[in-house]
Structure 1
Amino acid sequence: MTTDLRLAPAALVAWAVAWWAVARDGPGRVALGAAVLLVTALAAGVGPRRFPAPAPARDPRGGTGDGARAGRVTVSVAFALAVGATVLAVTACQLAVRDASGLRAGAAAGRVVTVDAVVRDDPTPIASPWGGDPLVLVLVDARTVTLDGDTRRAAAPVLVRGDGAWADARVGERVRVTGSLAPAEAGERAVAVLRPTGGRVTVHGATGPLRVVDDLRAGLVTVTDDLSTQARALVPGVAVGDVTRLDPDLADAMKTSGLTHVTAVSGGHFAIVAAVLAGLCGVARLGRWARLAVLGPCLSGFVLLVRPDPSVVRSAAMCGVTLVALCLGRPARSVPSLCAGSVVLLLADPWLARSYGFVLSASATAGIVLGTGPLARRLESGMPRLFPRPVALAVAVPCAAQAACGPVLVLLAPTLPVYAVPANLVAEPALVPATLLGVAATLVAPWWGAGAHAIAWCAGLATWWVAQVATVASQLPGARAPWLPGLPGAALLAGVTVVVAAAAVLSPWAGRGRLAGCLPLLGPTVPPDPLPVPAREAGHRPGWRSPTSPSPP
């Protein structure tokens, strides 16, 4: 069966125009770009209808002929341009709303403002560039802005760069803070950086679902207090992405071994939970619409529980598209679901185009979907005794994911791993029980502390295995290898990956030895050190400040 790539051009165009648009100073040029793309799309779609080409001779072999193929290409191009125009139009509207708050102009002038805002993301501690106590970054959504006695409504994200007192800020809190504004980096999610001149005032705590989620996360931390050091850190990390208690030595070992994705809740965790819920719906023999009614709220709640990070929302969007397709009686296909979900997310939040988490997640998914099958078949046919079908698939998944993400990760840190693939292969089986038991302990904790503690202890057994794999792999010789930095390094790695993948999958002379030798080269990516300050100031969570070779999203 051929892969359906019809939506791929639209997804790529949507990402490209969103990446360009969010770095513009205002909505003017973005709106102009939307108009140009729309006119071009109309010309591409309407032109062939108004001036049709002569009908081609029918293919005697029964094929559709060059004319039909050209028509499909024209429709695909017109649709992709129309999607790009829509993304630009939506982005222009969002930029206009952000500018109406006055925060961008105030930041350019270094003005002092008072902002009423809602905390959007968990606090992220960073080292102070001047030494002394660490700073804390908190992304908030401004609701009102007071400047020179004039209060106006606002709908714009602001990055608060505060002191340690901000470390206990909670997602969903309504806060009031006064401080001086500074411009944010071009293309960053925050419209401005706010440096508080005083303490924050909490207007009220989180309400509704966000308060429930905060209580659940706090309950898991409480029931893991007396577990082992690794379990105190990894059980909350695997279950809900809370890495506040992760030991620096263990964190470094997980980076070196390519296992940081275990604690940065990603599409892999979402897929585990979704698969279990779908299986339970199947056991209960629920119909299509009943499954949608169950899976929709449950998966939405899980997104809130682990925080809607780029990788998680990408996986949720893809899952949502798949559920809708199934309910409408259409077959579920991974590539169209990925492309459609990506377009929907970029329409809702164009700043995802510049998120490393989103790009890595989408790249890993595309690599798995497109590369796992061919690589697994090649392994199985080339060395059937060493790689029976289940083993071939298990090896192909991390190789395909890491090969797709490698060029992106090299942009963050010019280093390559040696043991990331085997470390992931050995550690991945423990991720499923660790995730499911950790989530179960989270849900039970508010009502039955002893039971939640027992479940968390069992989850700690699985995370112990992950910690051991990370420690051993990081201590092996040559765990990190240097690579050419920047765009040249990314381009070189992409070229090497393509050549090696072609040799491993397509070449008829790829014998056993050559095929086995290609495997370590298919995934030469290593978890980089934390992102530079501009990226951290965008409001990334700790797990995504250190992206790693991804798990199957």
Structure 2
Amino acid sequence: MNGGPVSREPARIGPILFSSTEDDMTTALDLRLVPAAAAAWAVSLLGLRAGWTASAWCGVVALAVGALALLRKRRTRAVRGVLVVCGVTAAMAAVVTVRVRHVAEHPVRSAAEQGLPALLRVEIDDDPTPLRSPGYGERPAGSDRVSVLVGLRQVEITDRTGRTTDLGGQGERVLLLAPSDWGGLLPGQEATARGELAPATRGDLVVAVLRVRGPPNEVTAAPWWQTSAGALREGLRNASRTLDPEPAGLVPALVVGDTTALPERVVGEFRAAGLTHLLAVSGANLAIVCGAVLLVCRLLRLGPRTCGVLAGLAVTGFVVLARPEPSVLRAAVMAGVALLALAVGRPRSALPALAGSVLVLLLVDTGLAAAPGFALSVLATAALVVIAPWWADALSRRGVPSGFAEALAVPAAAHLVTAPLVVALSGKVSLVAVVANLLAAPAVPPVTILGVLAAVVAPAHLAAAEVLLSVAGPPATWLVQVGRWAAAVPGAEFAWPSGVFGGLALAVVALAVLVALRFPRARVLLAVVLVGVVLAVVPTSVLRPGWPVSGWVVVACDVGQGDAVVVATAEPGRAVVVDTGPEPGAVDGCLRRLGVRRIPLVVLSHLHADHVGGLSSVLDGREVGAVALGPLHHPEWAAREVRQTAARAQVPLVGLGMGDHLEWPGLRLEVLGPRDAPVGPPPNADAGTPVNDASLVLRATTPAGRVLLTGDVELAGQSALLTAGTDLTAEVLKVPHHGSRSTLPAFLAAVRPHVALISVGAGNRYGHPSRLVVDALTDAGARVLRTDHDGDIAVLSAEQGTATARRGDPRAPPR
């Protein structure tokens, strides 16, 4: 979704555009390979999603249509085109059918459906990726679990009778869900893994999933080129530490896709700003590197063949360094085609090179047909080749300076074409992405080039690499600020139906807008409609009249599947925050809307990441007194990250335990639990229940009455409070564990709330909240409010009873 500005020079490399002059527009729109590439992609995707019989029938139909075309006596251009498309479709259908059937009928898949234990000898295919543990919102950095895509070399399966069967292996793909011990392996290494098989659900030729027990065994050495690439990546990480934490994490992410040191706040802001593509290596990175090499070659007056060879070496080296991600592979193959043409003195247009790269990559790895990253990369490059030159010329003819016209056309075209797929995946439409990409574009090339140079230099001379990155520091900081400013814009993104229907609906709208722009009267009508939409949407979606409501005392923030509660003191702009949600953006937005600038205490009820993930954004830019933890500091990765986040913000950590009291004007906090403070890490501390039952349970005394804040305490923790005879009565209850079934009816009866707040994510996979819990609260006379339905929920100070207001429906009066 990003790319360099359109040039007026005829020969370009990789995803960079060809000339946009009138004479070259015909070359840029050479469509001869496009139908064949589209057909190959469609049959591949059909085979992956619908099975090998569907792709086989596609091949039969293609052969039949091709045979009918061969019977025609006149071989017109259209007939020849049909023959080419039918031939490519039939060939790809045969390849897809064989591969999908092989996976579908593989004996490992049958064993996975039975959940049998297995011992696998595997070869690592890709870098291990930190996992997000279901229910606990695991952090990308410091996770205790990783996923690893591997190729099978040997398989031993043990059936229910204890008999072991040796199935061999031919490189079939398996996904490992493994402990963090696997995180340091490099592609090309072999290892032995033991665990239980499970069915694969990815639809990309993965035979099965293995839930690994224990560290890798019998590990071989990595190939020298992967070891070298690993050393270069490590050198880049080390050299980046000379920068401030946020730019230091961004540089490796932008240059080689390494996000291990990237703060979650930056990730959330880039997502809202439409800049997420900068955090994954794309074809634009390769184009920048390749373009820099060609520029040096031109300055040295080298011949075209020498330029092609040197640029080809740069492409190969960068792919190894950045790892073969779908977009990098697509750009590398496309650049290879263009470089070959350059070397033999026959430059080609970019569109046939893109179509050819799609054909080659799908032939080599059919699973790419279902990869969102691959689709986004191809669509963005096609937009830069087809639409951006046209728009840039149109703007130039209307008096817009050519450089500005090209800089505006590139992100606008890429965003327009990729928006339907982004919406289908996320259900969000960004309104600031074009402007954010326009502002970010000038900073990307210097950071990329200096980062690559620093990665190459760092293993030999770390100080020299640090000097290079000190020069890259200001543009990297600019990128962070652009993401922050864009994400802070009210209404920066709005919801849209996700899935295939949502994507197709947005594509129809975008196409209608493009057609309308060609007709003057339609443009006027479109402008009137746009103004009407803005007038209708802004007051309700952006300005939110009446929010925050006057006299709010407690607000349950809508942070998705997680918890974040704000409890006001009597001083304006000052409040205590209990838990911070799963990611930075949501809780930061909630605090901004409430005008909270001073936080005497941030309480983390327990250390699952759906409660601590937004801590960095709460601490940033606000006056914070301390961060309070309960007695259990597990999982270890979360405790370590909380300590590091607090240390960076220079905020002290304090401990809370049962019986502690804290008081501020208008607010009093009592710590009621946990009753039985755990000693040391509980068994399987990362899995859920032991950590949940160690949640801090707080009772806040406010002008609106007593508020019971329960974290994720489950059955054992609730039972301990009841057995000890703890007074749990409260007018407002933050329902434990997102309203899950692990809530005792006796616990709810002891609280006797007038208002029950359930913090829960819309459409979550866990079935939260439980209908049994909601019905029990409703039957007892409580008013049940949910963040997934009501958005931010406020409890107000009222003379009679307990009043509430909902930001999700600003028309709803306080009740």
For Structure 1 versus Structure 2, the TM-score category normalised by the shorter chain is 0.7 to 0.9
Moved more, 289-298 or 209-218: 289-298
Distance, in Å, in 1 between the alignment partners of 2:524 and 2:457 is: 50
Match of 2:71 in 1: 47
Q: CA deviation at 1:124?
A: 1.9
Match of 1:353 in 2: 369
Q: CA deviation at 1:236?
A: 0.8
**Counterparts in 2 of 1:98 and 1:414: CA distance versus 1, 3 Å:** closer
The one of 131, 146, 149 aligned to 1:139: 149
Distance, in Å, in 2 between the alignment partners of 1:479 and 1:119 is: 40
Distance, in Å, in 1 between the alignment partners of 2:338 and 2:528 is: 35
**Counterparts in 2 of 1:451 and 1:118: CA distance versus 1, 3 Å:** same
Match of 2:200 in 1: 184
Distance, in Å, in 2 between the alignment partners of 1:494 and 1:99 is: 33
Distance, in Å, in 1 between the alignment partners of 2:314 and 2:379 is: 26
Distance, in Å, in 2 between the alignment partners of 1:95 and 1:152 is: 19
Q: What SS class does the counterpart of residue 254 from structure 2 fall into?
A: helix
Deviations 1:92-116 (A, max 9, x none): 3434655686322222232222111
Match of 1:109 in 2: 114
User: Equivalent residues in 2 for 1:8-87 (5 A)?
Assistant: 8-23=34-49, 30-31=55-56, 33-44=58-69, 46-49=70-73, 52=74, 71-87=76-92
Distance, in Å, in 2 between the alignment partners of 1:507 and 1:376 is: 18
**Counterparts in 2 of 1:351 and 1:478: CA distance versus 1, 3 Å:** same
**Counterparts in 2 of 1:486 and 1:28: CA distance versus 1, 3 Å:** closer
User: Equivalent residues in 2 for 1:416-427 (5 A)?
Assistant: 416-427=429-440
Match of 2:94 in 1: 89
Deviations 1:415-446 (A, max 9, x none): 11121111111111000100000000000011
Deviations 1:11-39 (A, max 9, x none): 110100010123455x5664564354234
**Contact 2:242 2:470 (8 Å CA) reproduced:** no
The one of 31, 40, 62 aligned to 1:5: 31
Q: What SS class does the counterpart of residue 133 from structure 2 fall into?
A: coil
Matched, 1:478 2:491: yes
Residue identity matched to 2:413: A
The one of 380, 399, 404 aligned to 1:391: 404
Residue identity matched to 1:332: R
Q: CA deviation at 1:513?
A: 11
Distance, in Å, in 2 between the alignment partners of 1:500 and 1:337 is: 29
Match of 1:155 in 2: 171
The one of 222, 241, 255 aligned to 2:238: 222
Distance, in Å, in 2 between the alignment partners of 1:516 and 1:314 is: 41
Matched, 1:212 2:228: yes
Residue identity matched to 2:292: V
Distance, in Å, in 2 between the alignment partners of 1:239 and 1:292 is: 23
Match of 1:335 in 2: 351
**Contact 1:101 1:153 (8 Å CA) reproduced:** no
Unaligned runs of 5+ in 2: 1-24, 158-163, 534-581, 584-815
Q: CA deviation at 1:451?
A: 0.2
Deviations 1:154-186 (A, max 9, x none): 211110012333333333321110111111116
Residue identity matched to 2:335: C
Match of 2:782 in 1: none
**Contact 2:249 2:260 (8 Å CA) reproduced:** yes
Q: What SS class does the counterpart of residue 159 from structure 1 fall into?
A: strand
**Counterparts in 2 of 1:340 and 1:155: CA distance versus 1, 3 Å:** same
Q: What SS class does the counterpart of residue 48 from structure 1 fall into?
A: coil
CA RMSD, 1 decimal: 2.7
Match of 1:121 in 2: 126
Distance, in Å, in 2 between the alignment partners of 1:35 and 1:208 is: 45
**Contact 1:137 1:162 (8 Å CA) reproduced:** yes
Q: Percent identity?
A: 35
Larger radius of gyration: 2
Q: Higher RCO, 1 or 2 (CA under 8 Å, sep at least 6)?
A: 1
Match of 1:435 in 2: 448
TM-score by length of 2: 0.58
Distance, in Å, in 2 between the alignment partners of 1:492 and 1:368 is: 23
Q: CA deviation at 1:146?
A: 2.1
TM-score by length of 1: 0.84
**Counterparts in 2 of 1:289 and 1:252: CA distance versus 1, 3 Å:** same
Residue identity matched to 1:106: A
User: Equivalent residues in 2 for 1:229-378 (5 A)?
Assistant: 229-378=245-394
**Count of residues in Structure 1 that have an aligned counterpart in Structure 2:** 498
Distance, in Å, in 1 between the alignment partners of 2:315 and 2:89 is: 29
**Counterparts in 2 of 1:14 and 1:95: CA distance versus 1, 3 Å:** same
Residue identity matched to 2:119: T
Distance, in Å, in 1 between the alignment partners of 2:510 and 2:53 is: 40
Residue identity matched to 2:362: L
Match of 1:539 in 2: none
Q: CA deviation at 1:280?
A: 2.1
Distance, in Å, in 2 between the alignment partners of 1:324 and 1:184 is: 39
**Counterparts in 2 of 1:134 and 1:449: CA distance versus 1, 3 Å:** closer
Residue identity matched to 2:420: P
Deviations 1:177-231 (A, max 9, x none): 0111111116234211001133321421312211111111111112223421112
**Contact 2:146 2:177 (8 Å CA) reproduced:** yes
Distance, in Å, in 2 between the alignment partners of 1:9 and 1:186 is: 27
**Contact 2:233 2:455 (8 Å CA) reproduced:** yes
**Counterparts in 2 of 1:111 and 1:326: CA distance versus 1, 3 Å:** same
Residue identity matched to 1:436: I
User: Equivalent residues in 2 for 1:481-496 (5 A)?
Assistant: 481-496=494-509
Residue identity matched to 2:179: D
Matched, 1:403 2:403: no
Unaligned runs of 5+ in 1: 53-67, 522-528, 531-553
Deviations 1:215-264 (A, max 9, x none): 11111112223421112201111111101111111111111111122221
Distance, in Å, in 1 between the alignment partners of 2:224 and 2:99 is: 26
Moved more, 138-147 or 269-278: 138-147
Distance, in Å, in 2 between the alignment partners of 1:97 and 1:222 is: 44
**Contact 1:380 1:389 (8 Å CA) reproduced:** yes
Where is the helix percentage greater, Structure 1 or Structure 2? 1
Where is the strand percentage greater, Structure 1 or Structure 2? 2
Match of 2:426 in 1: 413
**Contact 2:380 2:417 (8 Å CA) reproduced:** yes
The one of 507, 510, 516 aligned to 1:497: 510
**Contact 2:305 2:342 (8 Å CA) reproduced:** no
Distance, in Å, in 1 between the alignment partners of 2:49 and 2:501 is: 23
Q: What SS class does the counterpart of residue 335 from structure 1 fall into?
A: helix
Matched, 1:452 2:497: no
Residue identity matched to 2:145: L
Distance, in Å, in 1 between the alignment partners of 2:436 and 2:378 is: 22
Matched, 1:463 2:476: yes
Q: What SS class does the counterpart of residue 88 from structure 1 fall into?
A: helix
Distance, in Å, in 1 between the alignment partners of 2:48 and 2:423 is: 23
Distance, in Å, in 1 between the alignment partners of 2:173 and 2:258 is: 23
**Contact 2:272 2:493 (8 Å CA) reproduced:** yes
Distance, in Å, in 2 between the alignment partners of 1:157 and 1:89 is: 20
Q: What SS class does the counterpart of residue 170 from structure 2 fall into?
A: strand
Distance, in Å, in 1 between the alignment partners of 2:232 and 2:107 is: 37
**Counterparts in 2 of 1:95 and 1:488: CA distance versus 1, 3 Å:** closer
Distance, in Å, in 1 between the alignment partners of 2:512 and 2:55 is: 38
Match of 1:507 in 2: 519
Distance, in Å, in 2 between the alignment partners of 1:14 and 1:202 is: 40
**Contact 1:117 1:176 (8 Å CA) reproduced:** yes
**Counterparts in 2 of 1:483 and 1:151: CA distance versus 1, 3 Å:** closer
Distance, in Å, in 2 between the alignment partners of 1:83 and 1:449 is: 50
Q: What SS class does the counterpart of residue 215 from structure 2 fall into?
A: coil
Distance, in Å, in 2 between the alignment partners of 1:325 and 1:492 is: 40
Distance, in Å, in 2 between the alignment partners of 1:405 and 1:313 is: 19
